[in-house]
């Protein structure tokens, strides 16, 4: 799609364009409770209807809507080749900075479309889903804000939502909460590629796994995914652009080199959302701890926005990392439910094409062999080279023609999910990714000395 940005001798036309563009009342730097948040989101959806879509993915224990605002050129539906990105905040109701940051991010995106080249390109090339509050009941339950702990951490049934998801390493026999179920169902409806979950109480970008077994490296006090290089890169992308995360960190708390950490190295966590996203939704998610104080004073919110704005934007752009494409049969029909993975980094729950035959693989620059597998047929191997400087706002595009003549009737239209059970329990306790390092030894030492409860 053509970029609609203003430059050169088009200044006069752009002035008129600016006058014609819809305007949303400036969002103040204060805490917005449910009614105020809903009013803001509905105004944005009404005034920017061509690039936004507001919908609720479910309701909280106490019946509050779980709102998601989508921003993109095709906000109401997925378009082939356009990756899906999401931000989720306020999972713990008393961790409030992320909630306000996402409201300001929404305002920044919609008001800069057509004016700022980077934002315009981002909206042209990406479908961005923003959920300011996953736990509105918890937020409303906080009567006396506190930096360390408030009653609103849990949901309306007093469950910690970041301990409430199925776990791939051990059974998590807890009552699945409405907010958790809503997220799990939402993940089935979209081909999410990249995500971040915004928390508070520390300053660090934490990446999977949060839980683990010896096969993922727990004997070395860490738990690494097959895509550890990508996750470290993603975490560093965010942290390196936030001066506080890479510099001044929280006093009397654990410090993190470069502002990033492996989740398990920090402390093990069962039933977390980022592990669930990666294993069962094919979505790379990291956890962003963005404030030492969980519920800081309102007058500090503008500072948090200034510290995080560049990181929030840059992180969205990373959804275009690596390679994407479609898998076709010899007749040119897209093939759903086909396994497409890098040969030496297979996932415990294989990543498959969606109903459009699409695949998205987040990869760093380098040479890879893709293993394309159709049930009942021999694997098809194809090489791909991700250049050091990928195309702006687009992953490398590589469509794959599966070398099989005739109808592939054996491929079901739907994508049967892997069972939500501890898939890692029976793996052998060795892995190329589990060799110890001095960095992880030091992280473990700090963990023992300064361990405290999950943000």
Cα angle: 136, vertex 35, 186; to 5 degrees: 45
d(CA 56, CA 68) in angstroms, rounded, equals: 6
With beta carbons less than 8 A apart as the criterion, state whether 431 and 220 touch: no
Q: Burial level of 452, CB count in 10 A (0-12/13-18/19+)?
A: middle
Structure tokens at 229: 């290089």
Alpha carbon distances (Å) from 98 to 88, 144, 303, 449:
8, 19, 13, 28
Cα gap 277→72, rounded to integer Å? 22
CB 152 within 8 A of CB 170: no
Question: How large is the C-alpha radius of gyration of the chain?
Answer: 22
Residue 8 buriedness (CB in 10 A; 0-12 / 13-18 / 19+): exposed
Q: Among the residues of 281-385, which ranges form H helices?
A: 301-317
**Contact in structure between 343 and 366 (CB atoms under 8 Å):** no
**From residue 30, how far is each of 132, 269, 302 by CA, in Å?**
14, 32, 9
185 is catalytic: no
Half-sphere exposure of 397 (CA within 13 A, CB side): 9
Q: State the angle between helix axes of 301-317 and 117-125 in degrees (0 to 180), rounded to the nearest 10.
A: 50
Which of 84, 100, 289, 318 is catalytic? The answer is: 289
Residues designated catalytic: 289
């Amino acid at each position: 799609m053509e970029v609609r940005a203003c430059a050169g001798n088009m200044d006069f036309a752009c002035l008129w364009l600016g006058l014609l563009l819809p305007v949303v009342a400036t969002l103040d730097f204060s805490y917005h409770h449910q009614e105020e948040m809903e009013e803001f989101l509905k105004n944005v959806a009404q005034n920017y209807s061509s690039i936004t879509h507001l919908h609720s993915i479910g309701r909280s224990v106490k019946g509050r809507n779980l709102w998601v605002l989508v921003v993109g050129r095709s906000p109401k539906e997925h378009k082939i080749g356009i990756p899906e990105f999401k931000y989720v905040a306020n999972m713990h109701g008393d961790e409030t900075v992320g909630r306000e940051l996402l409201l300001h991010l929404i305002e920044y995106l919609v008001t800069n479309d057509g004016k700022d080249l980077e934002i315009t390109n981002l909206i042209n090339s990406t479908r961005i889903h923003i959920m300011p509050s996953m736990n509105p009941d918890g937020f409303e339950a906080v009567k006396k804000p506190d930096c360390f702990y408030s009653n609103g951490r849990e949901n309306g049934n007093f469950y910690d939502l970041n301990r409430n998801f199925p776990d791939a390493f051990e059974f998590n026999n807890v009552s699945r909460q409405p907010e958790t179920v809503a997220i799990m169902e939402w993940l089935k409806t979209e081909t999410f590629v990249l995500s971040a979950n915004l928390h508070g109480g520390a300053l660090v970008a934490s990446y999977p796994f949060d839980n683990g077994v010896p096969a993922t490296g727990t004997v070395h006090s860490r738990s690494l995914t097959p895509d550890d290089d990508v996750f470290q890169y993603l975490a560093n992308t965010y942290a390196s652009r936030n001066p506080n995360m890479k510099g001044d960190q929280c006093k009397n708390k654990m410090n993190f080199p470069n502002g990033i950490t492996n989740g398990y190295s920090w402390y093990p966590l069962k039933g977390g959302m980022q592990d669930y996203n990666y294993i069962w939704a094919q979505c790379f998610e990291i956890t962003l701890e963005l404030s030492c104080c969980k519920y800081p004073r309102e007058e500090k919110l503008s500072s948090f926005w200034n510290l995080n704005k560049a990181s929030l934007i840059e992180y969205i752009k990373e959804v275009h990392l690596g390679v994407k494409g479609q898998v076709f049969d010899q007749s040119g029909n897209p093939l759903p439910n086909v396994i497409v993975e890098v040969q030496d980094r297979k996932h415990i729950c294989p990543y498959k094409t969606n109903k459009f035959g699409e695949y998205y693989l987040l990869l760093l620059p380098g040479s890879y062999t893709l293993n394309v597998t159709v049930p009942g047929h021999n694997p098809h191997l194809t090489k791909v080279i991700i250049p050091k400087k990928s195309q702006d706002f687009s992953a490398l595009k590589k469509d794959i023609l599966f070398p099989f003549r005739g109808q592939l009737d054996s491929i079901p239209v739907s994508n049967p999910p892997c069972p939500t059970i501890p898939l890692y329990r029976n793996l052998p306790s060795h892995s190329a990714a589990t060799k110890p390092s001095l960095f992880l030894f030091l992280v473990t030492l700090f963990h023992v000395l300064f361990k405290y409860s999950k943000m």
